[in-house]
Structure 1
Amino acid sequence: MVLLSKINEDAIVDNLKKRYMDDYIFTYIGPVLISINPFKQMPYFGDKEVEMYQGAAQYENPPHIYALADNMYRNMMIDSENQCVIISGESGAGKTVAAKYIMGYISKVSGGGPKVQHVKDIILQSNPLLEAFGNAKTVRNNNSSRFGKYFEIQFSSGGEPDGGKISNFLLEKSRVVMRNPGERSFHIFYQLIEGATAEQKGTLGITSLDYYTYLNQSGSYKVDDINDKSDFQETTHAMDVIGISSENNSMVLQIVAGVLHLGNITFKEAGNYAAVESEEFLAFPAFLLGIDQNRLKEKLTSRKMDSKWGNAIESIDVTLNVEQACYTRDALSKALHSRVFDFLVESINKAMVKDHKDFNIGVLDIYGFEIFQEEYVQEGIKWSQIEYFNNKIVCDLIESKSPPGIMCILDDVCATMHAVGEGADQTMLQKLRMQINTHEHFNSWNQGFIIHHYAGKVSYDAEGFCERNRDVLFNDLIELMQSSEIAFIRARFPENLNAEKKGRPTTAGSKIKKQANDLVSTLMKCTPHYIRCIKPNETKKPRDWEESRAKHQVEYLGLKENIRVRRAGYAYRRVFKKFLNRYAILTKESWPTWQGDEKQGVLHLLRSVNMDQDQFQLGRTKVFIKAPESLFLLEETRERKFDGYARTIQKAWRKYMARKKYVQMREEASDLLLNRKERRRHSLNRNFVGDYIGMDDRPELRQFLGKREKIDFADKVTKYDRRFKGIKRDLILTPKSVYLIGREKVKQGPEKGQVKEVMKRRIDVEKILAVSLSTMQDDFMVVHEQEYDSLLDCVFKTEFISLLSRRFEEKTQRKLPLKFNNTLEMKLKKENWGFLSGGGSRQVLFVGGQGDMPVLILPANLCRSASARDFQRTHVSPTGRPSLRSAPVHPELTSTPPRGLHRGLQNGGHKNSNHAANQRNSQHHGQRHPAPGNPTRPFLPSNGSQLKERGGSQQPPNLDCLKVPIKELQGPTDPQPAGLLQGGATQTCPKTQTAGAPVYSSSRSVCSPPTLSEDGTELTVRERSTARLTEEKNVFLCCLLTNECNSRLHHQTKRPA
């Protein structure tokens, strides 16, 4: 509103009205926030708005209380200064709700662990508890705070709320015993009657609302938009969260019920003295308070007075009249409620106590004062004077000592009064007229006086002024409560009655002055922020605007003067030293500290951002910046600097953590296989990549995963079916599941004939029973699951198993079972077709040998064999640093291979490749086979494939021994007679085996071996002597491929292992 063309009350009210009707309840006057009570729940207080305003500059988003709260929180963290917000406005303007939003926002944006979350819960739950015992319905507000509250949220140096403190003052105790028509007492009395269980009602003697004298005198029981029954449950829950024990919880409610029963005790005249009218009403309050019924009756109708004659003190029993007896009863009721309220505040503070204070943000819902022009004069800043109302003159009228103000005169009268009656009140009025009748903000009349406050004229009835100011609880009542059988009640009255009394007794007025002075001293240590709350109507209905009421509040809140000062003055002021600390990062000369005169340092920083000279002034100790845009320029430049440095630090940290993570993963993977499985040298020190198929660029594979599912591992593998037929699959591991993705041709529809990705299997990590591996150098593994198992050939099995083990332990809180055996059992899936579809199992047998890689062979008798050579023993662990490039294992492996042969390195790329050890060419990924451990050794080619050397040709080798005669067992889509299993052995031909290489055969093979002629050719089926089929287990045999057989085989390009 600083930009309004006209600055008067009418223009301000019209602007506020337009925004209010459009549901914009917040408006800025510079940094001051104006809040209008909408009398309905607005939609912009959710998590979306919290995220929007967190860390944003004030001008980036519409005015909002979250922006002010975020500004306080950030200033506290950046400047290391305590902050406070002063919320002002009349009853019903929304001060308490505004305070709740501030505390809720800070609770959401600040981090922390379980302890911090506990403090946050206490901060939020303290509101409904204190409102139950301290709020009430008034004519102008259904939930009016009848006490003052200053709430401090204490933070650690890291910005986490780790403590808090509540300072309460000016509780309206008189509301317990009396109130105006149409109003209610404190909410807790109505909550207890409506929300107590049947058992609680029986124990506490709870009946109906109109039964209790303290509640039925105003005739108001129900309140719109307030559900006393549900609020009672919230109140008791808040006590549990804060940490009040169930026993103390019951005691609090017992005292509340006892106060209600005390109010039903009435008195009658017995001569000139008071007597209890119906003694049956004494029983329940005496029972609930744990005191003797006769003693209660005695203390309500009489009291002891001390008479002093010289040095002798004599106690005299004085019988009270009806008026005095009622006063005594009400004084006890007010004292009980007040001390229970103090106990609740004390319990909240104990639950949030911390040993030391770092920073805090205070929230005060009371009117605050700003110093407008005095600071400009003190600092020597040029500016035009603006007239405004200074409320100090009214404060002096109330509390000044010389000349005496109203409170001083009131205390003097109370110190000399000896009886309850009208005499003391009239004496006070006479003294006020004599002392301050000429004051411009004071007027008197027959029964009271008038004070011209900032909010307007307020009339005070003098009747009962002196008695209420004395605020005396007679020693007889304290002694009575100290005799209670209930320890909780005795603890609420800790006074030492035998202590020597010195000076005047404390009055209500003196308590107010002390609390106000303590509050001001606390606020002076904080950086203040302001919220002005406006109540738009008296009907408490949404979208109802009363022009005259709004204008009155605009006037007494001083909004016009505030706008004029903000427009003519400076939007920002800061002490030189704090300004330098905040913006030191802008230049090299000022970072980390400015060396030299502070004023020159500030000037240097302002010039570094090219700020115009007319946009700032330098005072004696402070810098003043005129326009908010100039301040935003400084803040944006500062944020960019921090952002750049943060990115550099973040980059270095991520690099360090990534290296540390992969070293740790290698070590964990090594520990899994240490002394249990033989390893290749290169597999010990290679890098772990995780995603070997580029999932970020493969939406056809991503479609099978969750939207935000993280990829731990992805690679192409070979999966073997029941007939040991190798099929290509994509193996993907996420924190939740293991996926096997295959490809199939579409058989019908517009995409008929196209090859599409299909999810062949999904296994939840926690449902994996075990993983089986051999003890040799191979890449086989069997993933066991309840339904059926999967035999996989994975080059990077160590990395996969390491990640799978970690995810399995996270899900199940136990280690992944790893089985090592040279005979692996594989449970088959039950199918509904074919003669081999009956489930059962298969075995994979491993034998040692002298080859480089284990190889799957399908000879004529359907028995397979492979062997493994020992490159690295099982007890060897990886070195400290991962190698960035794979290196040859032995010097002899670096020799030039035969012409026409392609070399490969195990578990790494080609030796001369520019890529890292684990990078592979994605173009040939689908067709390539694993590389052998020895680059000079050839691969077994696919069926019918022939490779030629550069500049010449070779005769194809005789591989008839590897042909599969039984086509129905091999399958129509099998492209080769022999599948390759990666790991550490090359293929062999049984015809050329040496004597030293053991050969294993199945005791019950799938079919009988074929009959061969003398030249080695296969006979026809008709010429076979026998052909037997069985559903018994197939046995996968492994044997050695000799050098003689290797020399006859052509090499085929494979992917690195």
Structure 2
Amino acid sequence: TAADIISCIAEKLGLEAPNELELAEVVQNASGEECKERRLGPSEYPVALQLLWPQEDTHCFSLRKRLGPPTTSHLDPTLDAQLLRDQFLRFLCFQPRDREYPDLCQLPDLTERTLLENLRARFSRGYIYTYVGSILIAVNPFKFYPIYNPKYVGLYQNRRLGDLPPHIFAVADAAYHAMLRGRSSQCIVISGESGSGKTESTNLLLHHLTALSQKGSYGRGVEQTILSAGPVLEAFGNAKTKHNNNSSRFGKFIQVNYRENGMVHGAVVQKYLLEKSRIVSHAKNERNYHVFYYLLAGASDAEKRELHLTAPEDYHYLNQSQCYKVEGTDEAFEYMRLTQSMEMVGFSADKRKKLIRVLSAVLHLGNIEFSKKSTYHSDEAVQVKNPDVLSLIASLLGVKEETLNSALTTKRAKAPGETVVISYKMPEAIATRDAMAKCLYGALFDWIVMQVNHSLLSAKDFREHRGNSIGVLDIFGFEDFGDHNSFEQFCINFANEHLQNYFNQHVFKYEQEEYQKEGIQWKNIDFTDNTLCLSLIEGRPHGLLCLLNDQCNFSGATNAMLLQKFQNQHKTNQFYEVPQKRENAFLIKHYAGKVKYQIRDFKEKNVDLMRPDVVMVLKSSSVALVRELVGADPVAVFRWAILRAFFRSYYAFQRSSRARTNGNIKRSLTYKGNESPASRQTTSPRRPLSAVNTSPGNIGSRTSMYGVESFLGANEARVLERANQILVKNRHTRTRSRVDKGLKNLQSVKTVVGRTQQQPHRTGRKQPPTVTAQFQVSLHHLMEALGQANPFFVRCIKSNADKVPCMFDETVILQQLRYTGMLETVRIRQAGYSVRLPSEEFIQRYRVLLPRGLLSSRNDIRDFLLRMNLDRNNYQMGKTKVFLRESEKLKLDENLHLEILRRIITVQRYIRVWFLRRKFLQLRSTVIRLQAYSRGHLLRRQLAQQKMQHEAATVIQRAWRSYLNSRWFVQLRHRVVPFQGACRGYLVRNRIKMQQREESVEKFRTSRSRGSDSRLSNGRLSSRELKTQRSIDSEENSGVNDDSENDNPVFEGSTGTASPPVSPVPRAPLAREESTFRDKTALIHMLSTSEASNLQIRSREPSKMPIRKCLSEIA
């Protein structure tokens, strides 16, 4: 804010008492002298004001000491000052007479001179927009101002008219929010002369409307399509004229449909009266349509070679005026921009290629020249002089050269029983050629508009839109080319008469009729009414258009006869005049002045028929787009296309099936087992049919197993490939919220055609409707659409006739202000009541200010208005409505705003108390829970510490016991290991000795048994031997080792005869935890005896003893 900036500056510069400083907005003149200033309040935003300054260095901020209190009287300090920059000046106590006013209704002295001077002053400061109430005046500076960037888009969003300086964005925002508040459709009517900036204003309005719909989310489909449709339509429908470098040669009404939430739901573009004559001829210093120059400058080299495109000087339709360039326009860049816009609108690459072929064919048509076949004067039959150009056109359009040549040079007339071929004369052949070019381009433009409408069509919007909408009308401006006005200017000015009548009715007629109906005090204001002029043009049955259409129904009628009828019927009409000198022309007094129209070609241009022979040639074209262009009904064309595609597919599959049946399938590979080609061939997007090598030369290759031409013809293969592409596309396409941008179903085609084309009612006659009949119907539908909507008017003013930047031509501007009735408009806006509210709506809107129990009677409302201290001259009470001027409405709105703020503050106070109370309760509850959690946590931590100490003590005890046991075990092991080694050694040696003893005993027994046996057999055994044998046998029977009792025998020494064991068992090591011994005394005795000692093994009861005790005893 200004206060923040002052504090910052004072801090930086070390100034004292920043409260005594203030900022002022200063305006300087060319010499640098201060001529005007405005003091800023502390809550205003200087940066926001700086964004609104013009480029010239005439504005600055001045920091100075405060001179006194601000001079504002009605502004409340709580209001946002940024919204009231111009309202600030409106409520100043002192207003200098040399200042400019953003609203012409604020002029203290209303005259033509003050009105013009106010516009001049604002124009010199860079303010090209001025209000007249809710009407916007836009003066075209022929220069770009940086006031349309996204900052301004955001600045003017959700603002009332008058809150900020006048701007085209403010009108768009007002229409948008009026639609949302009132749930009713709105329209913005842009009118003005040719070259006044209507097209640019339309683009800016659409840009802001789409920005409001997007809510900061850019890139949505419908909004981007609406913005992209503009460059496409301008390229094909705009051209350079004497008065305008980008003149719209057709009218368009763009109706943007919205949902209830304010988001764009779809849009419709309706076109009016394309100027076809510009295709074949145009005046000096003018050009043909932009798209031809874009194409020749931006097409690639390959496209130029394919289409035989050269420079514009080489084409008859482009070199007539010797004007090829537009200053400041890069044709190549515009072509690239056009291509990108068409792609975003929905034109595929194939469609764009076909479209360019038609455009090049139109260009080459103009280069066809004719010559006489014979030198005889009586023979005027013609032939094509340059057949190479004819052949090129035939190839571009996909027709036969012979049939095209015949259609351009001859015509067929049907006689009873025969058909007569008549050769054209030179003028007729040229007219046929030009008619073909105009027809092709006109049909192409209609097709483009239909494609644009289809891309703007919503998915479920097949029926008429019944929601809210905002329509933007950009129609051709009023034109007067002096002595060169023709049929096109007549139709254009007729449309402008309708718009002026619509403006008069809403601004003057309806408003004053409402004042009289409500019975308020009012003095009628005279205005120029053009109703009689419209009756002259379209009145029935003798209006100019009716006479023109009647003459077109007679083949023998001429333009001279038409002019004679005009004069006979309307020579006494005050709006019709006959030229003073004798010429084939007539004059009409339009609201903008007298205009002279040349009657030449009126009848031909009104009929605008193409020769039937030419139509038949184009219908026989091999290019689907060309056939579609000349089709009488797009719905029928689409149905026929579906039917033709069905039968082609049917016969393609039938031929492929017949080929399989006849065994003509060629397979280069065999498949194993049950594997079939279908199981290997896939239609996945990873390997589409188009990527497969299906050329005839590769039938025997490995890729033929995936191809189709190996067993199908080329046509059938293409059909299947196309079917596969459709399958792949459908498989990977998600359901979208909008219809696909290609014409996919019959219902969408019907909807688009119904919205694009508005055909007049057919009569019983066979003649097709004339141009004026179609134009009247379209204007009738347009006026109906405008009549059902709440209008906003934008009056575009041309600053000068020479297109010089920043030049203010008083004569040109004053003339426009006069014929548009701007002075009367300002006067009725000043004296009238711009706010007209029914009593119920008034109470509903200001119920916050009204006392409780107030009824909707006139007395109650009058008492309320008196209580609000309003100026009695600025409001009146009608029978059913309350009439207010804008100033009084602003006062009521300010009071309403303050009262709402007061109540909001009260509600906020209670809500803050409730929030603080709830916060306190939550905080207290949280603290209590935290305390409980803290106490529990402390106790749990104390218990955990005690538990940890107990576990630590247990661990220490266990470790100490383990240490003691480990130390004893180490000592024991240190002492036992040598003893174990000795024991093991002893046992091993003893085992070996026992084995040796057993072997010796066995040998002894063997030898003894042999001797005893021999002696026994001889009876020689002695008594000693017998005794010894018996003792041995008794020992064996007694058993030296009883295995059933114990596996560990105990040895005991004896003095008797040695008796070794029969089968000794290996001893277990003494290192085991527990060893069993039979008798410890026997073991000690065994260790003490010598090897020769007698050992006696006896079996005893096992005695188990721990090793520690056993070893201690042994030790």
Q: Shorter-chain TM-score category?
A: 0.5 to 0.7
CA displacement 1:120-162 (0-9 Å, x = unmatched): 1011111111000000000110000000011111111001112
Alignment gaps of 5+ in structure 2: 1-103, 374-378, 476-495, 638-761, 961-1115
Which of 434, 441, 456 does residue 352 from structure 1 map onto? Answer: 456
- Which residue does the alignment assign to 2:425? 321
Change (3 A) 1:603 1:280: farther
Q: Is the 8 A contact 1:384 1:568 kept in 2?
A: no
- Cα distance in 2 for residues equivalent to 1:998 and 1:600: 104
- Which residue does the alignment assign to 1:365? 474
- Which residue does the alignment assign to 2:807? 544
Mapping 1:212-361, distance limit 5 Å: 212-270=315-373, 271-306=379-414, 315-354=419-458, 355=461, 356-361=465-470
Change (3 A) 1:269 1:589: farther
| CA shift for structure 1 position 302 | 2.0
Mapping 1:8-27, distance limit 5 Å: 8-27=111-130
Which of 539, 553, 565 does residue 431 from structure 1 map onto? Answer: 565
Change (3 A) 1:382 1:258: same
Q: Is the 8 A contact 2:399 2:617 kept in 1?
A: yes
The answer to whether structure 1 residue 516 and structure 2 residue 779 are counterparts is yes
- Which residue does the alignment assign to 2:1107? none
| CA shift for structure 1 position 395 | 1.2
Which of 608, 611, 617 does residue 876 from structure 2 map onto? Answer: 617
Change (3 A) 1:488 1:55: same
The answer to whether structure 1 residue 384 and structure 2 residue 384 are counterparts is no
| CA shift for structure 1 position 549 | 0.9
Mapping 1:331-730, distance limit 5 Å: 331-354=435-458, 355=461, 356-366=465-475, 367=496, 368=499, 369-371=503-505, 372=508, 373-402=512-541, 404-418=542-556, 424-445=558-579, 446-495=583-632, 502-574=765-837, 611=870, 613-620=872-879, 622-625=881-884, 627-636=885-894
| CA shift for structure 1 position 570 | 1.4
CA displacement 1:809-852 (0-9 Å, x = unmatched): xxxxxxxxxxxxxxxxxxxxxxxxxxxxxxxxxxxxxxxxxxxx
What is the RMSD computed on CA atoms of the aligned residues?
Answer: 3.8
Mapping 1:733-748, distance limit 5 Å: none
CA displacement 1:44-68 (0-9 Å, x = unmatched): 2122222222222223211111111
Q: Is the 8 A contact 1:115 1:162 kept in 2?
A: no
Q: Is the 8 A contact 2:618 2:630 kept in 1?
A: yes
Paired residue secondary structure (1:110) = helix
| CA shift for structure 1 position 536 | 0.8
CA displacement 1:436-455 (0-9 Å, x = unmatched): 01112211232201111111
The answer to whether structure 1 residue 159 and structure 2 residue 262 are counterparts is yes
Tell me which amino acid in the other structure corresponds to 2:436: L
Change (3 A) 1:8 1:887: closer
Change (3 A) 1:272 1:63: same
- Cα distance in 2 for residues equivalent to 1:142 and 1:444: 33
- Cα distance in 1 for residues equivalent to 2:861 and 2:355: 58
CA displacement 1:392-428 (0-9 Å, x = unmatched): 12111111114x121111111111134xxxx611101
TM-score of the aligned structures, taking structure 2 as reference length = 0.57
Alignment gaps of 5+ in structure 1: 659-686, 690-880, 889-907, 912-916, 918-930, 940-983, 1002-1057
| CA shift for structure 1 position 575 | 5.0
Tell me which amino acid in the other structure corresponds to 2:433: R
Which is greater in Rg?
Answer: 2
Q: Is the 8 A contact 1:78 1:582 kept in 2?
A: no
Q: Is the 8 A contact 2:843 2:856 kept in 1?
A: no
- Cα distance in 1 for residues equivalent to 2:786 and 2:361: 39
CA displacement 1:499-530 (0-9 Å, x = unmatched): 99735431111122111111100000000011
- Cα distance in 2 for residues equivalent to 1:249 and 1:128: 15
Paired residue secondary structure (2:536) = helix
Q: Is the 8 A contact 1:92 1:140 kept in 2?
A: yes
| CA shift for structure 1 position 489 | 1.6
Tell me which amino acid in the other structure corresponds to 2:530: N
Change (3 A) 1:1000 1:576: farther
- Cα distance in 2 for residues equivalent to 1:997 and 1:612: 101
The answer to whether structure 1 residue 63 and structure 2 residue 22 are counterparts is no
| CA shift for structure 1 position 8 | 2.8
Paired residue secondary structure (2:205) = helix
TM-score of the aligned structures, taking structure 1 as reference length = 0.60
CA displacement 1:595-631 (0-9 Å, x = unmatched): x869789779867866555433344554422x21222
- Cα distance in 1 for residues equivalent to 2:623 and 2:907: 62
Q: Is the 8 A contact 2:843 2:850 kept in 1?
A: no
Change (3 A) 1:11 1:474: same
| CA shift for structure 1 position 119 | 0.8
CA displacement 1:335-382 (0-9 Å, x = unmatched): 111111112211121112232442111111245323203333344332
- Which residue does the alignment assign to 1:994? 953
- Cα distance in 1 for residues equivalent to 2:865 and 2:616: 68
Change (3 A) 1:657 1:432: farther
Paired residue secondary structure (2:807) = coil
| CA shift for structure 1 position 546 | 1.6
Change (3 A) 1:472 1:378: farther
- Which residue does the alignment assign to 1:93? 196
Q: Is the 8 A contact 1:301 1:325 kept in 2?
A: yes
Q: Is the 8 A contact 2:840 2:856 kept in 1?
A: no
RCO comparison, higher one (Cα < 8 Å, 6+): 2
Q: Is the 8 A contact 2:236 2:291 kept in 1?
A: yes
Tell me which amino acid in the other structure corresponds to 1:282: L
- Cα distance in 1 for residues equivalent to 2:613 and 2:944: 101
CA displacement 1:657-684 (0-9 Å, x = unmatched): 99xxxxxxxxxxxxxxxxxxxxxxxxxx
- Which residue does the alignment assign to 2:22? none
Q: Which of the pair is proportionally richer in helix? A: 2
Change (3 A) 1:621 1:248: farther
- Cα distance in 1 for residues equivalent to 2:234 and 2:826: 34
| CA shift for structure 1 position 306 | 4.7
- Which residue does the alignment assign to 1:676? none
Paired residue secondary structure (1:544) = coil
Q: Is the 8 A contact 2:504 2:529 kept in 1?
A: no
CA displacement 1:690-720 (0-9 Å, x = unmatched): xxxxxxxxxxxxxxxxxxxxxxxxxxxxxxx
- Cα distance in 1 for residues equivalent to 2:812 and 2:958: 104
Change (3 A) 1:637 1:441: same
- Cα distance in 2 for residues equivalent to 1:656 and 1:339: 70
- Which residue does the alignment assign to 1:196? 299
| CA shift for structure 1 position 7 | 2.6
Paired residue secondary structure (1:76) = helix
Tell me which amino acid in the other structure corresponds to 1:375: E
- Cα distance in 1 for residues equivalent to 2:618 and 2:908: 64
Q: Is the 8 A contact 1:932 1:986 kept in 2?
A: no
Q: Mean alpha-carbon deviation: is it higher for 628-637 or for 338-347? A: 628-637
| CA shift for structure 1 position 429 | 1.1
| CA shift for structure 1 position 242 | 1.0
Mapping 1:24-35, distance limit 5 Å: 24-35=127-138
- How many residues align structurally? 688
Q: Is the 8 A contact 1:116 1:161 kept in 2?
A: no
- Cα distance in 2 for residues equivalent to 1:137 and 1:486: 32
Paired residue secondary structure (1:389) = coil
Paired residue secondary structure (1:213) = coil
Q: Mean alpha-carbon deviation: is it higher for 293-302 or for 521-530? A: 293-302
